[in-house]
Amino acid sequence: MNCFYHPDKPAIGLCKYCQRGLCTDCAAIIDDVLACQHRHEDEVHKIEQLAARNLFQSKRVASAYSRNAIFYGLVGTLFTAFGLYQYRFLGLQAVFFILIGLFLLYAASANYFEGRKHK
Ligand SMILES: [Zn+2]
Ligand SMILES: [Zn+2]
């Protein structure tokens, strides 16, 4: 493949914006990717910024979900253990704690699976 602007020179890569071949004279490196010099430098920079921002946001969302999953999991385990332990003293009243515990464990797993979708 040769350069789009200089058909006599070999291309070293493609512009990320227009996918045309570029030689060493025409290629500009923007955020570690190639762009047509003086033509698509701004466009490529915007594409890279947008991609970086999306990656950053989905990582943040995923970590928020896993933080929730850990919290619900811990509290849910506590409630369930407390309810099971108290069952012989409190009887039916302890079932209330077990139910809350199980609900929190359900919330924990829901958050866990939701977080995995964003990774
Ligand atoms: Zn271009
Ligand atoms: Zn060229």
pLDDT (tens digit per residue) in 31-61: 899 999 999 999 999 999 999 888 888 888 8
What is the 54 CA–ligand 1 centroid distance (Å)? Answer: 23
Does some domain include residue 85?
Answer: yes
> 12: CA distance to ligand 1 center in Å?
13
Instruction: Name the closest ligand to CA 6.
Output: 2
**46 CA distance to ligand 2 centroid (A)?**
23
Do residues 102 and 76 make contact, with C-beta atoms less than 8 angstroms apart?
A: yes
Judged by DSSP in three states, 84 sits in helix
For residues 33 and 64, membership in a common domain is answered with: no
Domains identified in the chain, total number:
2
Q: Residue 81 is part of which domain span? A: 57-117
What is the DSSP annotation of 32-81?
A: TEEEETTTSHHHHHHHHHHHHHHHHHHHHHHHHHHHHHHHHHHHHHHHHH
Integer-rounded Cα Rg, in Å, for the chain is 28
Ligand nearest to the CA of residue 5, numbered in listed order? 2
pLDDT in tens, 5-20: 999 999 999 999 999 9
In this structure, are 34 and 70 located in the same domain? Answer: no
pTM over 0.85: no
Tokens of 75: 């509290």
Average pLDDT over residues 71-96: 93
Could you tell me if residue 90 is inside a domain? yes
State the pLDDT at residue 12: 96
